[in-house]
Structure 1
């Protein structure tokens, strides 16, 4: 059984939590990846930023439709989406923009399990972290494909 640590990229391109959103965009473009891990000063994974996050950060925020009943305002759906749009549009640092609910894998997980997570969660890359949340590396869909072609 091949494990994640055997095929992961150890020197993953990362951004620091305090990096500016503009700098994150430059690094992401230069890396050629679809997403990039955000780490703090101790190397712990804080979140992930993808191309979509950066595009969303530069879009107009759309106010939710409100219904007025008895002098009260009731949002007609989309309140969570509005809050997310607002969070991204006002983000200044990588940590503020990053998605924090990140799917990860451990170094001893099988490549099959990692591939399953990548496909089921519809993500392009999966950070590999230790039990304390330190980023050890990253596995992309391309890494899985290369591994399958070698086998």
Structure 2
């Protein structure tokens, strides 16, 4: 069975392209182009992340090359104008860098990226030292898990723990990441809990819960005729 990716350390890229604070403008452009990345952390000599330089930061120099912004525009975009005049990483970088820890959950990393409108986050330790980098595509890797792997985890960690008495009567079906729970259980009060726990499994796309109480068929309790 594969280890379930639950935290950033499970999916992050360990090899990271970075530059120092004194890296020149052209060096930064060449580095991004060479390694086909759109952003990179800026490191102090000991490997501590002090900022991030992105293609968007570098493009500001081109954007303002022939533009004479109005006074109102200048006031509104003071930081962009400052970056347009930068020639080193230290002058250009966005600081402090938005980072994440290795033990952060994938949901926490995804939420940070969404709130800050970022495509990737440097991964740091408690001292701010670079450990790796995590991107949007890394976070999506959980959806590459096989249906068999998902079904196995759900049976082991949800069904067997939650429905100890009636676990043998619970079926777990997974198709393209969409999970269906069916069968009968003794305690129907646990059905919403099961749905919530399955939805929390990394890689699950959707959940349909068709669990019913004991003696209840797919369309409801048996009619009087069926009992004769």
* Aligned partner of 2:92 among 78, 93, 97: 97
State the Cα deviation string for residues 27-74 of structure 1 (Å, max 9, x = none): 111221221111111111111111111110233264442xxxxxxxxx
Question: How many positions carry a matched residue from both structures?
Answer: 140
Dislocated runs of 4+, deviation >6 Å: none
- Preserved CA contact (<8 Å) 2:123 2:132: yes
Give 1 or 2 for the bigger CA radius of gyration: 2
Q: Which has the higher helix share?
A: 2
Q: Identify which of structures 1 and 2 has the higher relative contact order when contacts are C-alpha pairs closer than 8 Å and 6+ apart.
A: 1
Q: Which blocks of at least 5 consecutive residues in structure 1 are unaligned?
A: 66-75
Map of 1:131 onto structure 2: 126
Map of 1:32 onto structure 2: 36
* Aligned partner of 2:138 among 137, 140, 143: 143
1:3 aligns with 2:3: no
1:117 aligns with 2:112: yes
* Aligned partner of 1:79 among 50, 75, 78: 75
Map of 2:23 onto structure 1: 19
For residues 25-64 of structure 1, the aligned pairs below 5 Å read: 25-60=29-64, 62-64=68-70
So what's the TM-score if we normalise by structure 2?
Answer: 0.57
Residues 32 and 147 (structure 1 numbering): CA distance in 2 closer, same or farther, change over 3 Å? farther
